[in-house]
Amino acid sequence: MDELVHYDVADGVGTITLDSPHNRNALSRRLVGELMDHLGTSASDDARVVVLRSAERVFCSGADLSEATADGMADGARAMVAMQRAVVAHPKPVVTRLAGPVRAGGLGLVAASDVVVCADDVTFAFTESRLGLAPAVISLTVVPRLTSRAAADTFLSGRTFDAAEAAAMGLVTRAVPGEGLDDAVAAACADLLEAHPQGLAETKALLNADLLARIDAGTEEMATLSARLFGSDAAREAMQAFLNRRR
């Protein structure tokens, strides 16, 4: 089978590309597994900066609801926590490039990243509440990035918000015109490449110490909550209705 996540290194930058267009880069077991493998590779190779991006415009549509409705999320929730932790604990800065929509679980990857550059027409939504769920496992990385008012507004309503609002609330680093996205990502990488590798690693560890501690302390509680909600009758009914509409 063709891989769902690609990795290559050039000029000190390792690029991890999500490429699962059939489900809009949903966080399936296979995609998360391949992503974890490439995060591991990039932690020990010649790359000094890691870029996380999508092959197409859609960055990530969230959890793979088809897997969740069939098998539940007991293991999937822990895998999603581990995925976020791998980004936060990665010894090299992770720059995420957003060219298109990000929903639900995909926002955990965004929040875990060190620098996030997005096109100004990108949209975001924490859609969990509309499916009888809560953004449990991604709250470990997302909540520290947002003001409490922004978290309450976006988590509870599940509404769609734009790149300018995402930047204002601290979810992304900067929003730029779409035609300048690649230049902005390249500039962010160039700035990071000016730093010494030890300086990058030690500074990232300093910045992320509290976030790592939060993830480690909350993993079991949030994974258990997520699994319970995904397994509930209310959520299963809402997710199935959503999948039927999308078909």
Residue 1 has pLDDT above 70, yes or no: no
In this prediction, residue 74 carries a pLDDT of 81
Give 22-78 pLDDT, tens digit per residue. Answer: 999 999 999 999 999 999 999 999 999 999 999 999 999 999 999 987 777 888 999
Other C-beta atoms closer than 10 Å to the C-beta of 11 total 11
SS3 sequence of the chain: CCCCEEEEEECCEEEEEECCHHHCCCECHHHHHHHHHHHHHHHHCCCCEEEEEECCCCCECCECHHHHHHHCCHHHHHHHHHHHHHHHHCCCCEEEEECCCEECCHHHHHHHCCEEEEECCCEEECHHHHHCCCCCCCHHHHHHHCCHHHHHHHHHHCCEEEHHHHHHCCCCCEEECHHHHHHHHHHHHHHHHCCCHHHHHHHHHHHHHHHHHHHHHHHHHHHHHHHHHHCCHHHHHHHHHHHHHHC
Judge whether 36 and 83 are in contact, CB under 8 Å: yes
Give 190-214 pLDDT, tens digit per residue. Answer: 999 999 999 999 999 999 999 999 9
What average pLDDT score do residues 99-103 get? 98
β-strand partners of 9: 14
In this prediction, residue 71 carries a pLDDT of 75
In this prediction, residue 199 carries a pLDDT of 98
Q: How far apart are CA 77 and CA 231, in angstroms?
A: 12
Give 135-181 pLDDT, tens digit per residue. Answer: 999 999 999 999 999 999 999 999 999 999 999 999 999 999 999 99
Report the amino acid identity of residue 102: V
Report pTM.
Answer: 0.96
In this prediction, residue 73 carries a pLDDT of 81
Where exactly are the structural domains of the chain?
5-179
Give 4-20 pLDDT, tens digit per residue. Answer: 999 999 999 999 999 99
5-179 belongs to CATH 3.90.226.10: yes
